[in-house]
Amino acid sequence: MTAIDDDLGAATGVPGRGGVPFPMRDRLHVPRERYFDRGFYELEKRSLWSRTWQMACRLEEIPQPHDFVEYEICGRSLLLVRQPDRSVKALHNACRHRATQLEKGAGRLAGGQIVCPFHGWRWNADGTNSFVYGASGFAPECLRPDDLRLRECRAEVWGGCVWINLDPDASPLREALHPVADLLESIAVGNWQVRWWKEVVLHANWKLAQEAFMEGYHVPQTHPQLAGGLSVEDFPVDQNRYDAFDNGHSSFGRKLAGERYTSIETLILGGQLLSDGQDAMTLERDLTVFEGFRNKIQPGDDVGAAAAEALRDHAKGAGIPWPEGLEDSPLFFGGEVFVFPNLFFLPQYNNCLSYRIRPHQDDPEWCRFEVWSLTTYPATELRPRAEQLGRFAKDDSEHWGLIPMQDFSNIERQQAGLHTVGFEETRLATEWENAIGNMHVELDRRLARD
């Protein structure tokens, strides 16, 4: 852990450095108000969401020129528009005439035109105005081309995603993603594409919802089926290494990568639990490959290395991109990367489970939780435009696997529990939960900025 020994402000409840209410006094306690206080939430809107790089869409949502998708964050709406040269622009979604939102959801700009549904003013895909109905009735000062141009927002492409920052003076994306961008590139983040994409609305603060995925400490109790028949007392707690990084990012992964698999049976069984339990990370395709070399393994063989080799051979045969050294990535056999403020990647082999969490309906106690199953497809495979399958209830077993249902259930109980009389703050394990404190300390740093 790259602990930063700084002055974290005064006692809980008293505004700390930079006037941040309910500040972090250390990395071990989180004042409960940070998860429901309206003033704290409004400060997040003003000083975090308006000024941070955030994932706005996946590139597969807008594969063709003139495809667009709307990104909404705390009441701000942006249109991510694929340009004819394949670059992406982020345009503020409001008519320059009388502010009508120009587009909703996702779609295609037929004829390359963004059209206001109110009076028919139009813009080209790059945001330049192309038509004003009845222009002769306006004073020239109302129709200056520079004023009519749709306002543009900072946007950059990295890791198969479009990222935006509402702050025109923000530093470059790559600086903000340090050091997790390098880590994710080791596992070829840019090669993943959407298999499926779903959403759940949770009665919980956006930070609380995502903290459940920053540690593996909850696994034996929340997901007993993943504990291999061991009770929580017997389940080894120190299997993962947890790294808290600068800029609020963090990561965890198995301490011993390939060697965790003592036999081909444990590899297949563990993979089946992930495939059945969430239809992500380990996929049917991988299990088929593992079954294929089950009988070739000799006692004493390195099962992890053999699995990697079999997956690589399969990928090469199927035309699936496999960068040199992919199997040497610290994330190859599974792990987690948290990208501050609200994005997760849980890679395994050439697949990944991904989460994005956002405040919902301008309420600090509600959030939108999106889930993607990503994988690497053959380079020549034509994929359909990625669309969200829908928003499903947290206990809808038709649409959620056992693993996410178990997680969602605890998250809402946690939010409810925060309101208990006499409960002041959460208490965190130094060894297993350091990523949570790390995120909150970075949040305070952002909230304290001028």
Partner 1 sequence: MTEVVIQPAGFTIDVDPGETLAESAWRQGYRWPTTCWGQAECMVCAALVVAGETATVPADAAEEEAMRLRMPRHLRRPESRLACRLMFSDDGAVVEKKGVRPPPDPQTDPEGANT
**Which run of H or of E encompasses 253?**
strand 250-254
Cβ-Cβ contacts under 8 Å for 56 (sequence gap 6 or more): 71, 78, 80, 90, 155, 161, 162, 163, 164
User: How far apart are CB 76 and partner 1 at their closest, in Å?
Assistant: 23
> For strand 161-165 and strand 363-375, is the pairing parallel, antiparallel, or unpaired?
unpaired
DSSP string for 152-185: EEEEEEETTEEEEES-TTPPPHHHHTTTHHHHHH
Q: How far is the CB of 73 from partner 1 (least distance, A)?
A: 25
Phi, psi angle pair for 120, to nearest 5°? 80, 15
Q: What residues does 374 pair with on adjacent strands?
A: 194, 352
CB 348 within 8 A of CB 330: no
Pick 65 or 258: Cβ nearer partner 1? 65
Rounded to a whole number of angstroms, the minimum distance from the CB of residue 122 to partner 1 is 7
DSSP 150: P
Query: What Å distances lie between residue 424 and 22, 27, 212, 253, CA to CA?
Result: 11, 15, 19, 31
Distance separating alpha carbons of residues 312 and 349, to the nearest angstrom:
9
Helix (H) or strand (E) holding 207: helix 206-211
Q: Please, which residue, 75 or 84, has the CB nearer to partner 1?
A: 84
Task: Give whichever of 115 and 155 is closer to partner 1, judged by the CB atom.
Answer: 115
- Alpha helices in 238-357, H assignment, sequence order: 264-278, 284-293, 303-318
Residues facing 363 on adjacent strands: 360
User: In the complex with partner 1, which residue's Cβ is closer, 130 or 414?
Assistant: 130
Q: Nearest approach, Cβ of 112 to partner 1 (angstroms)?
A: 7
Min dist. Cβ of residue 109 to partner 1 (A): 7
Contact residues toward partner 1 (CB under 8 A) are 108-113, 115, 117, 120, 122
Q: What's the min distance (Å) between Cβ of 405 and partner 1?
A: 34
Nearer to partner 1, 101 or 414 (CB): 101
Q: Of 115 and 306, which CB lies nearer to partner 1 in the complex structure?
A: 115
- Residues 108, 84, 195, 331: what is their CA dihedral angle, to the nearest 10 degrees? -140
CB of 118 to partner 1, least distance (A): 12
Closer by beta carbon to partner 1, 285 or else 385: 385
Task: Give min distance, CB of 117 to partner 1, in A.
Answer: 7
- CA nearest neighbour of 292 among 264, 252, 332: 264
Nearer to partner 1, 150 or 371 (CB): 150
